[in-house]
Structure formats: structure tokens, C-alpha cells
Structure 1
Amino acid sequence: MAPDDTVTTPRNPWDRSGRAAGRPDANAPRRPGGTRPATDGRGVREPTSEPAPTRAETAREVRIHGLNAVRAVYARRPDAIRKLYLTQARVADLKPLLAWCASHRVGYRIVEEADLQKLAASQHHEGVVADVLRAPMQGLREWLDALPDGPQLAIWLDGVGNPHNFGAILRSAAHFGVAAILLPGHARLDVSGAAARVAEGGAEAVPLVRMGEAADSIAALHDAGFALAATLVDGGGDVFAATLPQRLVYVLGAEAGGMDRALAADCDLRVSIPGSGLVESLNVAAATAVLLAAWRSRR
């Protein structure tokens, strides 16, 4: 797991008074019924009436960071936001989100730069971190049944695991209007904090679809009019000269070993990106952007 993909929560990032995190100040005013509103020491109030999340709810959450990543969740799924952490410098940039949090009783805290770095487990937090519910992952049949007619492009990721590459793929996929990222049933890939930041909002724009057995998934895609294109370092047709079907799934392999040869053999066409030969190949995320542009240029 990459360092940016590791979630580490500091013991008590916002309270320097020696109180346990979340414990109300003894001098805070009491609410009716004898309870006190929780604050972060800077006057930022946090709801206290909501029940603590269950273990299942916590497992459904992901901690993301990055300004555009958090803004994208707010724009598309504001109810998914569970808690927000930000530096004082980001208050002006996130005023609408803070107002929404206040009106919907979603807790937020203003923290120091060092504390936010610990919360994000990254120096590249861009001044904001959010705990959000993961977007539900569709099944392949559910996704196909809801897909409109006409040209459609999807990406099948066969073994890609680096969160930064995944984030860059999501960003390119959003830019070129990809309909979905298709993930094998055994794949553990999911949106992480690092992937969401690198995606710059793309993680909210492109749905993730969970497939079953490869043979069944290929058959279902064929039934829906899709052709599958294996993307190879060499040995495939020039992607810029190839005839690319209107409904296409690019199958992309792992960062180091490339795609599975048996899966490549089951694809309808095999394509490669021609180059100078001075380097062996493009990074999988860079290759994805080139492949998507090649398909889009035909439309």
C-alpha cells in the first residue's frame, strides 16, 4: 500500500487543552436537558445528538483529501459527507460547504497544518480532509441495463493497484466521458484518499462497476454490443489507425506485468500505442489517456 493510501488518525488533533477528543468543556453552556454542545476550542460547533457510527458504517467510509475531491463530493453527494477537517486558510474557499454542514448538523473542525497532514497521511492534502461514505458499486448487469444506447466507452482494469495511477485514470476517464470503470470480482481496488486527490473530482464522475467471472462478463458485454480491446505494449495494431467500435471496452493491465495473456486472447481486438522506442512503454495512467483520446477522436 502506498504511503498516501494509508489512513492514520492522530490521537487528538484539534484539542490542545488536555481534554479527551470530543469531551465538552466544563465551562461550555449547557443545552436544555443538561447537555453541552461540543466545540473545537475555536467556536466551531459539532452536533452531539447523532448516534456514534456502527462498525459497518465506519467500514463504508473513506477519508479523502484535496480541494477538488472534496468539492466534487459536495456537488454530487453532499449527504455522503460525515465529517470535515480544514485549515483556517481554506475557510473562505469552502464557505458554501461549511454553511451546508452547519445547517445539516455535519461536524467540521478547523485544525492546524500539521494535524491535517496526519489526518490525511499526506503532505498533499490541499488544506481539507473529509470522511465520506463510499459511493455504492454497481454490478455489471445493473450497469448495462441502465446504459443508454449509442456510443459508449468503458475501461476494464486488470490488476492495476497503485492509487496514484488509479486516480490519474479516473481523472482521464472523467475528462473523456468514460461510462464506467469495470473491476474484476477479485479486485480490491477502490477509491482511496490519494486516488481521490489525484483524480481531481473524477472519482465522483465515473462509476465503479463490479464484475463476476471473466467469461460471463465478456458474454454480457458482447450481448450489450461492446467489443473488447486488449491494450498491449507491443504486438497490437496501431491504435491511431485501428477501427475502434462505437461501443468499446479498453482492457488495461497491471503497472508492471501488463494484462493477462489469456484475457487478451479473449478480446476482440488488440491495440498498441506506437512510439519512438526510446522507452519501453507509457505508464498505465498515461497510456489510458492516449487510448481514450484515440477513441474520442473518432466520434
Structure 2
Amino acid sequence: MAARTPERDRARPPVRRASEVRLYGLNACLALFARRPQDLRKLWLSESRIGALKPVLAWCVKQRIGYRVVADEDLARLAGSSHHEGVVFDALRREEPTLEAWLRGLPLEGPVLALWLDGVGNPHNLGAILRSAAHFGVAGVLLPHGSGLGLSGAAARVAEGGAEAVPLVRLPAMREALQRLAAAGFALAATVVRDGTPLYAAELPARLVLVMGAEGEGVDPALAAACAQRLGIPGTGAVESLNVAAATAVFLGEWWRRHRQPYPLDR
């Protein structure tokens, strides 16, 4: 029997625990290392990424964390994607705080924006939403009770590091979540395709939860009915609606314009 090559041995994906996630993409992996290097468990990289990942490799040596330089085809197999950008991490999952714990950590005064994702399931949409959320300072992305939505390697790559900047918060049942958010001073606004108040003419409270619905189905009618506002994005009508990730960016940008200070470079 022919012996397996060392390259094949190195590229064999290890068994991962439920508490671990496989991440890939340079910015996603660097963001994890910058914020929580202690959660890194295993690293694979291409030879071309050795320079960009020198601090990570030095950490791995110091902490006795395994890493391997492998071929691009092995990285694609490890990531399950050709979009690995030359690096794959196995790392501990970031803990999803409960709604109660998340609320305790918020400032008592001042503007706070959160997103409630109702029925959104595509990991690429989640990643794009997290990227916009990080850019516009969203305090948390709220995930419905019982939803299977969570951070995956694909979502983290598309988020370009944003997944490490914005917590994913697991909600209790809808009625309890609504009560707790209201008690914490949040107004809720459901985003809709038709018959909503145009975004640029609407009041946008400083402490706001924007409820974004799945494409096609939209926001659950019971949840939309519980919201104080129904908001839409005005446009030409040449297409029915925006992709949920693109729509989210529009809503977040308008809220930021009204409630947050300019970027330092604008001062």
C-alpha cells in the first residue's frame, strides 16, 4: 500500500466540535486574531500568505497551536470554497449573548441601533449585513428564537471582519423579546416593500430596532403589526425591491446620518 503524502495528511480536515467554526478569508481571519487570538485552534495557509500572517504564526508558535502551509486546492477543500483567500482558521465560536445580557451591556443614554433579522437565511446576505452593521456602528444583530441562522465561514468571509465587531444576539420568544426591548426604551420599525412610510420622510428614533424580513416573504405579519412603524425605501419602481443586504445598508446609512457624529476625517 502506498504511503500517503505529507501534504495529504496536513490537509485532512480534523473533526470539529460544535463549539468551533471554520473561518476563511484574510480579513475575516485577521479580525478574529485581532480581537480574540486565544480562540484560535488551528491554522492552514498558502505560502503566499506567510508574510501577511507573520504575527499570527508567531502567536501559534508561542501558544503551541498547529499550523500548516498547504496548496490552494487543499485550502479549498478545507474551506469548502474556492474563496478562501489563502487562509483557513478553526476557532471557537463567539458566544451569542442572550437578549437580557446584551441589554445590560448597552449605554443607558444616547443613540443605539440594532437589527432584527426575521427569516433571513442566506449566509452571504448575513455576511453583507454584518459588514454594513460594523461600518455603521450597529450594537447587535438579533436572531429569532428557534432560527438556525448563525455565523458560518461564508458569512464571516463576506463580512470582511465585520462579524467580529457586531454581536449576534439570540432572542427569546417574540412576545417576550418585544416586551424587553420596549422596556429598554427601543422603538421598533418593520421594513416593507409596499405601503410603508418613505424612509427619508419618517421619524427615526435614536434607540431603534430595524426589523429586516426575508426576501419574498418579508417580515412576519404578527411581528410587523407589533412595530410602531413600517418603513420603505423610495425608488424608481424599475425593480420590485432591493436585496435585503442592500436595503439594510440604506436604512443604516440614513440612521447614522441623523444620529451619529461625523467620521474623524470629516471634521
Aligned to 2:214: 254
Q: How does 1:277-296 map to 2 (within 5 A)?
A: 277-296=237-256
Instruction: Tell me the CA shift for residue 75 of structure 1.
Output: 0.3
- Counterpart-to-counterpart distance in 1, 2:59 and 2:27: 17
TM-score by length of structure 1 reads 0.82
2:5 to 13, 16, 25: 16
- Counterpart-to-counterpart distance in 1, 2:89 and 2:135: 24
- Counterpart-to-counterpart distance in 2, 1:59 and 1:257: 31
* Structure showing the higher helix proportion among its residues: 2
| Local SS of the residue matching 1:85 | strand
- Counterpart-to-counterpart distance in 2, 1:211 and 1:67: 30
Aligned to 2:146: 186
Aligned to 1:110: 69
2:45 to 76, 82, 86: 86
Aligned to 2:159: 199
Task: Report the CA distance shift for 1:17/1:123 in structure 2 as closer, same or farther (over 3 A).
Answer: closer
Deviations 1:248-282, CA, capped at 9 Å, x for gaps: 00001112211111110010111000010000000
- Counterpart-to-counterpart distance in 2, 1:128 and 1:65: 6
Deviations 1:208-248, CA, capped at 9 Å, x for gaps: 11111111111100110000000001111011111100100
Equivalent AA in structure 2 for residue 224 of structure 1: A
| Local SS of the residue matching 1:298 | helix
Equivalent AA in structure 2 for residue 118 of structure 1: R
Q: How does 1:107-256 map to 2 (within 5 A)?
A: 107-149=66-108, 150-256=110-216
- Counterpart-to-counterpart distance in 2, 1:145 and 1:165: 28
1:75 aligns with 2:34: yes
Higher mean displacement: 124-133 or 252-261: 252-261
| Local SS of the residue matching 2:51 | coil
- Counterpart-to-counterpart distance in 1, 2:246 and 2:147: 21
- Counterpart-to-counterpart distance in 1, 2:145 and 2:151: 16
The count of corresponding residues between Structure 1 and Structure 2 is 253
- Where has structure 1 moved over 4 Å in runs of 4 or more? none
- Counterpart-to-counterpart distance in 1, 2:78 and 2:37: 21
- Counterpart-to-counterpart distance in 1, 2:216 and 2:241: 11
Equivalent AA in structure 1 for residue 122 of structure 2: N
Instruction: Tell me the CA shift for residue 17 of structure 1.
Output: 4.6
1:298 to 258, 261, 264: 258
Unaligned runs of at least 5 residues, structure 2: 260-267
- Counterpart-to-counterpart distance in 2, 1:235 and 1:173: 25
- Counterpart-to-counterpart distance in 1, 2:113 and 2:162: 16
Identity of aligned residues (%): 59
TM-score by length of structure 2 reads 0.92
Equivalent AA in structure 1 for residue 56 of structure 2: L
Larger radius of gyration: 1
Deviations 1:170-195, CA, capped at 9 Å, x for gaps: 00000000000001111111110100
- Counterpart-to-counterpart distance in 2, 1:79 and 1:190: 21
